[in-house]
A and B are shown apart, each in its own frame.
Chain A
Amino acid sequence: GAGVSQSPRYKVAKRGQDVALRCDPISGHVSLFWYQQALGQGPEFLTYFQNEAQLDKSGLPSDRFFAERPEGSVSTLKIQRTQQEDSAVYLCASSLVSRDTEAFFGQGTRLTVV
């Protein structure tokens, strides 16, 4: 595709439900990042992949959050037993290599936990 694609764009979950958010990066991009952005705040780093390897998951707020990128392309962010404080926009970004190249962001998934 032409850009980073995220699905769904909007998700409403009842508290306690599990959700899965998908990210399709730009083809050939090695690096993939996930961020959580609460209303009025900046993007907070969650986790980072280089190909299929998850090199940094220091930003995942709890063990309810899990991310994978099994074949080094599409990535899924899973949140188990959602809580109200999980409500936020989840952004995915990819870059060709890593530190020296620009990151391209998807439109994000807005998660609302009710």
Chain B
Amino acid sequence: GQQVMQIPQYQHVQEGEDFTTYCNSSTTLSNIQWYKQRPGGHPVFLIQLVKSGEVKKQKRLTFQFGEAKKNSSLHITATQTTDVGTYFCAPFTGTASKLTFGTGTRLQVTL
């Protein structure tokens, strides 16, 4: 099936800088989840977005669902070394229950 693209593929920031990853779909999504995978670890659920234009915050992380429900973003303010990992969006379309992942954005944070 068609993969949802995430950009950038990789980003290297200095600690304290902000970071944003974007998830783009060519089709309208019903909802979207975000996961984080640390190096050597397994994906861990972060958030789920359902409503058009929805914005959710978790401490330094801000998640947004586009008005047209075709894209989503994750913004991290003032990155820390603990933010290192790969961030995946997991989009759902229609009534499908299959959990699939976007291409992922790998974040590297250095002091």
Which chain A positions have C-beta within 8 A of B25? Answer: none
Instruction: Tell whether, in the assembled complex, residue B98 and residue A42 are in contact, meaning their CB atoms are under 8 Å apart.
Output: no
**Residue from the list B33, B97, B102 in contact with A48, Cβ < 8 A:** B97
Most chain B C-beta atoms within 10 Å of own C-beta, residue among A55, A99, A104, A105? A99
Q: A85 at interface (Cβ–Cβ under 8 A)? A: no
Looking at the assembled complex, report how far the CB atom of B2 sits from the nearest CB atom of chain A, in whole angstroms.
13
Name B95's closest neighbour in chain A (CB-CB): A99
Tell me the interface secondary structure of chain B in the complex: loop
Q: B104 at interface (Cβ–Cβ under 8 A)? A: yes
Instruction: Tell whether, in the assembled complex, residue A56 and residue B48 are in contact, meaning their CB atoms are under 8 Å apart.
Output: no
Q: A23 at interface (Cβ–Cβ under 8 A)? A: no
Instruction: Tell whether, in the assembled complex, residue B97 and residue A108 are in contact, meaning their CB atoms are under 8 Å apart.
Output: no
* Chain B stretch 67-111: residues in CB contact (< 8 A) with chain A: 86, 88, 92, 95-104
Instruction: Tell whether, in the assembled complex, residue A105 and residue B98 are in contact, meaning their CB atoms are under 8 Å apart.
Output: no
A-B contact count (CB 8 A): 53
Instruction: Tell whether, in the assembled complex, residue B102 and residue A105 are in contact, meaning their CB atoms are under 8 Å apart.
Output: no
Instruction: Tell whether, in the assembled complex, residue B97 and residue A104 are in contact, meaning their CB atoms are under 8 Å apart.
Output: no
Q: A80 at interface (Cβ–Cβ under 8 A)? A: no
**Residue from the list B31, B97, B102 in contact with A42, Cβ < 8 A:** B102
Q: B34-74, CB under 8 A of A: which get 1 and which 0?
A: 00000000111100101000000000000000000000000
Looking at the assembled complex, report how far the CB atom of A22 sits from the nearest CB atom of chain B, in whole angstroms.
16
Q: 4 tightest CB-CB pairs across the interface, nearest first?
A: A98-B97, A102-B45, A105-B42, A42-B104
Given contacts A99-B95, A99-B96, A106-B42, 15 further A-B contacts (CB under 8 A): A42-B86, A42-B101, A42-B102, A43-B43, A43-B101, A45-B99, A48-B97, A48-B99, A95-B99, A98-B97, A99-B97, A99-B99, A102-B48, A103-B43, A105-B43
